[in-house]
Amino acid sequence: MKENYREITCLALGDSYTIGESVDPSLRWPVQLVNKLRNESINMSDAVIIARTGWTTDEIDAFNRLISEECGNAGIKYFNITDISREASLDSSLVAADGLHPSGKMYGLWVDSG
C-alpha cells in the first residue's frame, strides 16, 4: 500500500441489519466490508456504524434533515429514500415476499431517485 493514499471511511447508516442484531460485532457487515477492502490493500479506517432500531417517524425525519444539511455542507451527495420507503404501506409491490424487506422494485426506485 502506498503511503500517500488517503484513508477511506466507511459510514454505514441503518437499522438492526446494519447493527448486526445477535451477531458478534466483528461479524457485522460493515466491519467485514472494511476488513475485505483492507485485505485488498485499500487504506480503510474502522467502520463507523450509525444504526438504531425503533426510531419514530419524527426521529427519522429529524435525522434526514440533519444529514442532508451536513452532506450538502461537505459536498457529499445524499439520497433520501425515506419517502419512497413509506410508499410501501400503500403499495405492496414495494415489499419483498417475506413481508419485511424492500422488493426489487423499491430498490429500483431508490436507485432512480438519484
In the chain, where the domains are located: 1-54
- Output the pLDDT for position 71: 94
Partner residues linked to 52 by β-bridges? none
Separation CA 84–CA 73 (nearest Å): 24
- Output the pLDDT for position 84: 93
Listed as own residue / partner, the contacts of 96-99 with beta carbons closer than 8 Å and 24 or more positions apart are none
- Output the pLDDT for position 1: 47
First to last CA, the chain: 33
- Output the pLDDT for position 4: 58
**Coil, strand or helix: which one is 68?**
helix
- Positions of the chain with pLDDT lower than 50, given as ranges: 1
